[in-house]
Structure formats: C-alpha cells, structure tokens
Amino acid sequence: MTTRWRLAYVTALAGVAVLLLAAALAVLAGVARHVGSPLVVMALERNSATIGTALRIQLERAVSIGIGLDQVVGVEPVLHEQLTRHREVSFFALLDAQQRWIAFVASPRLTMAEQASLRRGLLQVSPDGLTQGAYRVARTPIAAGPPAEAGSPPQQGVLLIGYPLNYIDQQVDALVLDLAVAVLIAVLLVAECLRFAGQGAVWREWAGVRAFMLLPPGEVPDASGPKPGLAPDQAHCVATTRPPIDADRRLGDIARLRMVVFLVALSDELCRPFLAIHAYHLDGPLLLSNAVLAGIPLTAFLLTWAFSQPLGVGLLRRHGASACLSGAAGLTAAGLLATMATDSWYALIALRALTGFGFGGVLIFAQALLLRLGGASGRAQALAQFVAAVVAAGMCGPVIGGLLAVKFGAVLAFGVAAACALTAMFLARGLHLVEKSEGALVASGRVLSMVAVRNTVRHPALMALMVFSSIPGKLASTAVLLMLVPLYSIEMGHSPSVTGRLLLLFFMGFFLVSGVSARWSDRWNVRKPFIAIGGLVSAAACFVACALDSLWGLCALCGLLGLGQAWVASPQIVLATQLIEARGASADGEMALGLYRLVERLGGALGPVLAAALIGQWGLRGAVLGLGVLLTLGCAATAWALRHHREGVPAAGSDASPARAKGSSAVEGRA
Amino acid sequence: MTIANDAVPVGRRVARLAGLPLAGCAVVLLFAALLVSLRLEKAVGDLVDDRVALLASQLTEVVEGGLRFGVPVADQSETVRKMRALMDSDAELQTLALLDDTGKVLLVQDRDGMVPALSPRRVQRLLLQPPGRAVERYTRSWREHSSVHTLMQARDATGTTGAVIWAVYAAQASQAVFERTLPPLLWTSVALLAGLALVVTAGVGWVVLAMRQRLGRQATAPFSEPGASS
C-alpha cells in the first residue's frame, strides 16, 4: 500500500471516529431531551397554573365589584407585562362566558399565521385544557359574582395560558454550545495531561504511527526515536540551542514547568466564576456597594500579583527554582485552603492578597526559568509554552469551576483549586536541572536590584515598548474582558452565559495563534513586525465591533482581540529582555522582566477604571472606539520609537546583532 | 524515527494507541453528560425561580397597596390573609415572611414550623438598594441547601422601601432533574464509549498489523535495496 493510500485510509478512519463521536453526542442530546422533557413540561404546567391564579384573582376582584369582564380596563397591558416577565409563556387569551374574544396577547416569537391558527383552535378548549399544535394550553376559569343556585358563582369567562411543548428544544442552541464547550475542554485537558504525563509509551507509539504513515515505500526506518514526552514545538525550541545530552532533561523541565503553570493558573481560573459573588455575600461593611465588595478582594489579588513580579526574580536567584516555585505554589494553595474556612470579608482580602503573591510568584518564576531554558533563539517558543498553559487553564477553569460551585458549592470549588496548587507544589520540587545550573546566581542574588530599576527606567526603547505597546494592550484586554463585553452584552439583552462564551472566543483566538507567532518570531528572529501586526489587529477588533454594533460585533471584538494579543504576547516579552540585555554588562534581563511585568500588570489594573471613564463620557460604543484609537496610536508610537532598533534574519539557531548575541549569551550563561 | 518496537506485544500496542483517543472521547462524553444534566436542571430551576418570584410579587402588591394608602405594614390586615392564601395555593412554598424597614420579621407563615435563618445583612443590603426602574422591584434570589430564597422590596408611594418580602421555596424539583437525568446520560455515555472503543480499536489494530507486516518485510530485505536509506 502506498503512503498516499495509507494516509487516506487513516484519515478516513479518523473521520469515522470523529463522526461517531459527533453521533454519540447527538444521541446523548436525544436521551437528555427524552428524559428531561416531561420534567420541564411539568414545571411549565405549574408555572402556568401560578400565573393563571395570580391573574384570575385580579380579574375576579374587578368582576366581584360589578365590572363586566369585557369592561375591565387595561387587561392587554397587564397580559403584555406578564408575557415579558414570563418568557416561557407563548400567549395569553381571555374569553368571556360566550366564548367571545376579550384579549389575545402572543409572544413576538409567534408568527401572524401561527397566531391566527391558535385563535381558531382555542375556541374548542376543553375544561381540562388541550394541546393546540405545538402548545399546551392551561385553562383558568374566571368565576365571580353572586352565587348561582348550585352554590358556586357563575363562570364569567376563561383565561387561557399557552406554553410550548418543545420548550426544551428552544434551549438547543445553549445545549449545542454546551457540547462544543465539553469537546473543547476535553481536548485541552487531555492535551495538557499528555504533554506532561505522555512522556512514556503512548506518545512514542503515536509518533511511531505518524512516522510509519509518512514513510515512503521501501524506506528503512530510523532507529533514533522521537524525544519522549513533548510536542514537536517544545522539542524544536531547545533543539537548536542546546547540546543533545542536556536536551532530554531540559525538555522534561519545560514540560514540568508548563504543568506547574497550568495547574496554578487553573487553581485561579477555577475560582473566577463565583469569587465575586462569594465576596459580596461575606460580612463586609454595609456602606460599600456589592460591586465594591466584590471588587476589593479582586484588586488586592491583582496588586500583590503585580508587586510580586519584580521581587520574584530576586527571590528566584537567592533561593533557587525548585524552592521558589514550590513555595509560591504552596502559598497559593495555603491561601485557597484558608479561603475555604473563612466567612469574613476582611480575611478574604488578606487571603486574596496572599494568593495573588503566590500566583504572581509562580508566573514570574516560570517565565524567568523558561527564558533561561529557551536559550537565545528559542525564547519566544519557550514563553509560548507558558502562555499556552495559562490560556488553556483560562479556557477550562471557569467552566469546571462554575460546575463545581453550582453543584457542590464554593467551598468545595476552593478545595479543588487548592488541590491543583498543591499538586503544582509537589511537581515543582522535581525541577533539578534548573536548580543545579543556577548555582552562581543563587549565592549573590538580591531581591530587588535598583540598578535594574534604573536601567529599565532610563532605557528609552524599553520604556516606549512598555508605554506604547504593553500597557495599551493589557489595558484594552482587561477593559474589554472585564467591563465592556459583559456590559455591552447585557445591554443587548443577552444572558451572562452568552457573555462567558464571548469571552471564551478571546482565549480561543489567543490559544490558536500564540504558538504560531512565537515559532515564526523565533525562526525569523524578528519581533517588531509581530508587535505591529498584533497592535493593528487589536485596534481593528475595536473598530469592527463599533461598525457591526451587534452580537457579531462582540464576537469579532473578543476573537480578533485574542488573535491580536496572541501575535504580540511572546515577541513583546522577548524584545523587552533583548532590549535590556543589549545595554551591556550591567543589564539584567530577568530583573527587567519583573519590572516590565509589574508595569504591564499595573496598566492592566487601569483597564476597568479607564473603561468606566470612557463609558461615562461616550457610552459603550464610544468606549470601544476610544480603545481602538488608543491601540492604533500606541502601535504607531511603538513603530516610531523602535525605528532604530535593528533586527536581523539569521539562520536558525544564531543571533544577528552583536548586542543580541551578547545579551543572549548572558542568559545562556545563567542557564 | 522509531516506527515500532517488535518486543511490545500487539495487544499492548493497540491498547496504548487506542487509549489516547478513547481517553479524549471519555472526557468529552463525561463533560457532555454533566453539562447537559446541568442545562436541564437550570431550565427547570429558572422556572422555579420565576414561580417563587411571582408568588412573592403577589404579596408585595398587597403590601405596597397598603403602604400607598399610608397604612403601616404592622397594621395591614389583608397581608395575613394573602399570606395564608399563597401558602395554601402552593404546597412547595415553605416560608413566607414580611419584614419591616429595619429588617425585623413582622409576620411569618411557614409550613412545618422550621423557619430558616436569614442573615440580617442580606436584608439590610436589600433595604439600602436605591429605587431602580419603577416597573421592576429590586429582588434578590439565592439557593441555600435545598431551597430557593427570594427577597423582594415593597415600596411606598414615595419610592422608599417600606418592607421586605421573604419567600422560601422547596427546590427539590430542579435538583431532582439533575439526579434523574445524570444516571441515564452516564449509562448512555458508557454504552457509546464502548461502541467507539470497538471502532477505534479495530482501526488502530489494522494500523499496527500493517506496521508489523511492513517491518517484517523490511527485516528480510537486503540493505542494498534501492530506496533504502537512514
């Protein structure tokens, strides 16, 4: 069998497997509909009865004081109001005792033809109600006035309330989205676990199958196997810069670091969907509004996260990778475990601050270590591992955390988050390669270097990069994700679950592109074009959202902003470290990284504040437009400020400029 | 590149290869079953929330009617009758209470004599909420244990909050949906996974056998054969 036929056969097999999975999901949805539909219809029936009773009491009150049912004023507005409040109801109809129409109010979802058909059919309503086409009709008699001979008051009319029998099918869009989210989460979780745990047999077997499929007829297979445990992009990022003897251990360390980052980021993301609600249910000052009660613990977390960035690098040098990472993950776990037990709002602030410091510590330690492990020409790809882990956690965490909080409560969700952080702590203790290699720095490390601060502040290109590119990007991201999209979506009448899925588009866009941009950035050894493209795509996201001004506009805003920021993310941080290292011997790339992250995070913290100010001034659409203008100006200013910074296009594995070579070798030396 | 190690038995190799896609499918089906069950629970839960809000609003209308005529909450006689009527109308309404503008409970109707505790802070927060849109009452709902709690403001003619209505409703109906839908969905998932396992294992088995045949032929072929390379 030729290679082409083998590939075609395996592709067909994979296609059949995917189709089978899709069919399995469809079967699952069908079973859910079959099992759930009677329960939902029962609930609808009870709601209709309650609504009918409430309306009956009002109508009977009017009739009991002598007003005829057909003379009651304001029936239709009341029915319209009820229809707006109770979206499950499709129509209300009021008939008098002679079966004449008094009022008929239907949901706008019903077409005129459907309404006409219903009106004809409703006249044959039996006393127990009926099924009229796709609707079930509940019948509520209106009886008031002096008692008749039999003892009960005469019937004055009848109120009919219709609800759809296929109400459960109207949730089908949400159900399909649920299934899509399930697939996405499963793929991400399995992929992340495989990257770490699949260093053994499974990954090798699949690599072998892939090689077999691509093997030309008659060719003898190579005896040297693929490097275990890591995806090809991970392998590539170090293969060109390191001796092969160290490569396996380094790859293992990158995989372990990625898992540590994923778990710690997951521990934070698990809490995201319910933390704000949890915060304002605790015992805080009554003078503060719910939004402020929810916001202060979040701000405490963000601030300690920001301030942990410059301190992190110094701590890493003084105490070593394993101790720092496991300590920071332990702090995160301790904060989350203590949060399980507290019901004081003040304690929550302190614990969020503690967790923020631990969380920020893990992130900055991991970034600094990945920069060392990535070497000179693989930095962007090494950082892409970090970004991908954080984004994967951002996509899985909120959904799983929401599920846990809904079904088992916030306490258990905090417990699961703490378990993730604890697992990360134990994994971090095994980072031996990095630990050994940094011996010289461990002894002389300082927690915060003023020289590094001075160097950073006095570096015009670095400052320009921070002020014109990093801060606007982070600011726009937080403003859009935390304020504009949620508010815009609610203003358009969509539910918070729609908002959650819109936000997922940002992370999906980011996840899809960040690895590609990092790989290309390293391959061509250029960063500025990526930063420019990312800035322009981010700005375009805002302009497209303004132009469309609809749900599709918000989709474009989230998706394109995610794509834009993904182009920028890794190249930007690599350029920042390269700029500072190019200063010479006194330069300190890792410390600059910490300061850079500090400024960036503070910029991010400004996002919601700026968004609130822009919304107050120009409304939601104006705020989005304002952010677009800010990003465009930032992009232009970055290009102008970095116009003298030269970037080469060297062959893979070598650096073009002497300055960069020097900076790179400094990092190489540390690692 | 290593293609296959013949020392590994075929069965183990097929299991390793099929394990990866099947693990993915298992996670997908598990999450799908959970999410779909929760979706159904939410659909019924929203309807229950709607019902309890409707019941609370009926009492609120009565209280607001009195407040608008200047009758203090404590002196409203119609309120007690309405509370009884509402309790009689729905067997799942567990507690209905009327609180004054300081958060003190004035009237309570309950089904089994077990009035749940209500945090005074929740009431005070609700009382502090400024008047919103005229047509919408400020309401807060939450779930505690197996009940839905709803607090609703009742305002006087000036828009000042004069009382708070507190309704507690049994939420077993929505919880039962999850409990009744999840087991069949999980069993269906297991059955579907078994079917997928058969297909995937068959496909992977074919690939492994093809690899072994190919390698067997290659082992007996001379290295000088045209096309052979490293």
pLDDT reading at A618 higher than 60: yes
SS3 (DSSP) at B90:
coil
Mean pLDDT of chain A: 75
Please give the DSSP secondary-structure letter assigned to residue A146. S
Predicted pLDDT of residue A657: 37
Angle at CA of residue A602, ends A598 and A608, nearest 5°: 155
The tens digit of pLDDT for each residue in B156-184 reads 877 777 888 889 888 777 777 888 888 88
Residue B37 near chain A (CB below 8 Å): yes
Contact map slice: B 13-32 vs A, CB within 8 A: 13, 16-17, 19-21, 23-25, 27-32
- How sure is the predictor about A240, in pLDDT bands with cuts at 50, 70 and 90? very low
Predicted pLDDT of residue A332: 93
Taking CB atoms and an 8 Å limit, are A212 and B230 in contact across chains? no
Decide if A287 contacts A400 (C-beta within 8 A). Answer: no
Across B108-112, average pLDDT: 81
Taking CB atoms and an 8 Å limit, are A54 and B47 in contact across chains? no
**Closest residue, chain B, to A191 (C-alpha):** B24
Across A174-185, average pLDDT: 74
- How sure is the predictor about A493, in pLDDT bands with cuts at 50, 70 and 90? low
Chain B residues whose CB is inside 8 A of the A206 CB are 17, 20
Across B180-204, average pLDDT: 86
CA-CA distances (angstroms) from residue A614 to A183, A482, A622?
Answer: 38, 14, 7
- CB-closest option in B21, B124, B193 to A17: B21
Predicted pLDDT of residue A440: 43
Predicted pLDDT of residue A376: 57
Taking CB atoms and an 8 Å limit, are B2 and A36 in contact across chains? no
Residue B184 near chain A (CB below 8 Å): yes
Taking CB atoms and an 8 Å limit, are B51 and A6 in contact across chains? no
Query: In chain A, what percentage of residues exceed pLDDT 90?
Result: 7
Nearest chain B Cα distance for residue A669, angstroms: 32
Cβ neighbours, 10 Å, residue A64: 14
Taking CB atoms and an 8 Å limit, are A25 and B28 in contact across chains? yes
CA-CA distances (angstroms) from residue A276 to A263, A483, A498, A610?
Answer: 21, 14, 18, 20
Query: In chain A, what percentage of residues exceed pLDDT 70?
Result: 73
**Closest residue, chain A, to B223 (C-alpha):** A220
How many interface pairs between A and B have CB atoms less than 8 angstroms apart? 217
Predicted pLDDT of residue A448: 52
pLDDT reading at A420 higher than 90: yes
Taking CB atoms and an 8 Å limit, are A17 and B58 in contact across chains? no
pLDDT reading at B70 higher than 70: yes
pLDDT reading at B197 higher than 50: yes
- CB-closest option in A28, A194, A216 to B188: A28
The tens digit of pLDDT for each residue in A620-651 reads 788 888 989 998 998 888 888 887 777 654 43
Which of A9-18, B47-56, B93-102 has the weakest average pLDDT?
Answer: A9-18
Across A239-252, average pLDDT: 53
Return the higher-pLDDT residue of A80 and A607: A80
Suggest the residue from A50, A194, A280 to mutate for an interface test with chain B (most B CBs closer than 10 A).
A50
- How sure is the predictor about A611, in pLDDT bands with cuts at 50, 70 and 90? confident
d(CA A78, CA A84): 10
pLDDT reading at A334 higher than 90: yes
pLDDT reading at A243 higher than 60: no
- As beta bridge partners, residue A101 has A95
- CB-closest option in A35, A50, A222 to B1: A222
The tens digit of pLDDT for each residue in A359-370 reads 988 888 888 887
Cβ within 8 Å of residue B166, ≥6 positions away: B56, B95, B96, B97, B98, B99, B105, B118, B123, B149, B150, B151
SS3 (DSSP) at A81:
helix
Burial class from Cβ neighbours inside 10 Å (0-12, 13-18, 19+) for residue A41 reads middle
State ipTM.
0.77
Return the higher-pLDDT residue of B130 and A280: A280
- CB-closest option in B27, B37, B207 to A209: B207
pLDDT reading at B190 higher than 60: yes
Residue B91 near chain A (CB below 8 Å): no
pLDDT reading at A415 higher than 90: yes
Predicted pLDDT of residue A452: 63
Predicted pLDDT of residue A41: 84
Taking CB atoms and an 8 Å limit, are A407 and B19 in contact across chains? no
**Closest residue, chain A, to B197 (C-alpha):** A17
d(CA A310, CA B49): 49
Taking CB atoms and an 8 Å limit, are A86 and B226 in contact across chains? no
Chain A residues whose CB is inside 8 A of the B30 CB are 186
Across A273-283, average pLDDT: 75
d(CA A486, CA A565): 19
pLDDT reading at B90 higher than 60: yes
Taking CB atoms and an 8 Å limit, are A222 and B37 in contact across chains? no
The tens digit of pLDDT for each residue in B8-47 reads 676 777 777 777 778 878 888 888 888 888 888 888 888 8
Predicted pLDDT of residue A238: 41
